């Protein structure tokens, strides 16, 4: 057996050759690696945004607790709105004008492990 015969690609019974398989595999791995990096980057940016949002909410909560405003009904601005409307917190008028009517039907969420509806 000569050297050229030893290194020559032997015919395969499959549909693609080893060289074609390596090309396809290389492109596939590249696509997966690049998209994986992009997804990881998006998730990290989202986590960073959530972390900053949490810090801001905690900071606001601490500021309001120092002012003894632990509930929205204690806020002077909200009390002024209630007074201007001639309403009280959880009153029919306040419920009608200030609260949303969004209702989320949780029956179709498919949650398992208890009664979540």
pTM recorded for the entire structure: 0.40
> Do 24 and 63 fall into the same domain?
yes
Identify whether residues 66 and 94 lie together within a single domain.
no
Query: Which domain range does residue 63 map to?
Result: 16-70
- The pLDDT tens digits along the chain (117 residues) read 555 556 666 665 667 788 888 999 999 999 998 888 888 888 898 999 999 999 998 998 888 888 888 777 777 888 888 888 888 877 888 778 776 667 666 666 555 555 544
State how many domains the chain has: 2
CB atoms within 10 A of CB 76: 9
Same domain? For 63 and 81 the reply is no
Q: Is the domain of 48 the same as that of 81?
A: no
Query: Does 5 map to a domain?
Result: no
77 shares a domain with 46 = no
| C-alpha distance from residue 17 to each of 6, 10, 12, 111 (Å) | 17, 9, 6, 49
* Whether residue 59 sits in one domain with residue 40: yes
Phi, psi of 99 (to 5 degrees): -105, 150
Nearest CA-CA partner of 82 in 65, 100, 95, 70: 95
Shared domain check, 80 and 62:
no
The answer to whether the CB of 86 falls within 8 A of the CB of 93 is yes
């Amino acid at each position: 057996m000569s050297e050229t015969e030893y290194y020559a690609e032997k015919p395969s019974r499959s549909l693609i050759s080893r060289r074609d398989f390596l090309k396809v595999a290389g492109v596939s791995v590249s696509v997966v690696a690049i998209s994986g990096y992009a997804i990881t980057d998006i998730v990290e940016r989202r986590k960073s945004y959530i972390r900053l949002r949490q810090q801001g909410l905690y900071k606001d909560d601490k500021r309001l607790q120092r002012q003894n405003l632990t509930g929205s009904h204690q806020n002077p601005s909200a009390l002024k709105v209630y007074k201007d409307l001639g309403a009280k917190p959880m009153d029919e008028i306040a419920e009608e004008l200030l609260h949303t009517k969004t209702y989320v039907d949780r029956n179709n969420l498919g949650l398992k492990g208890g009664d979540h509806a």
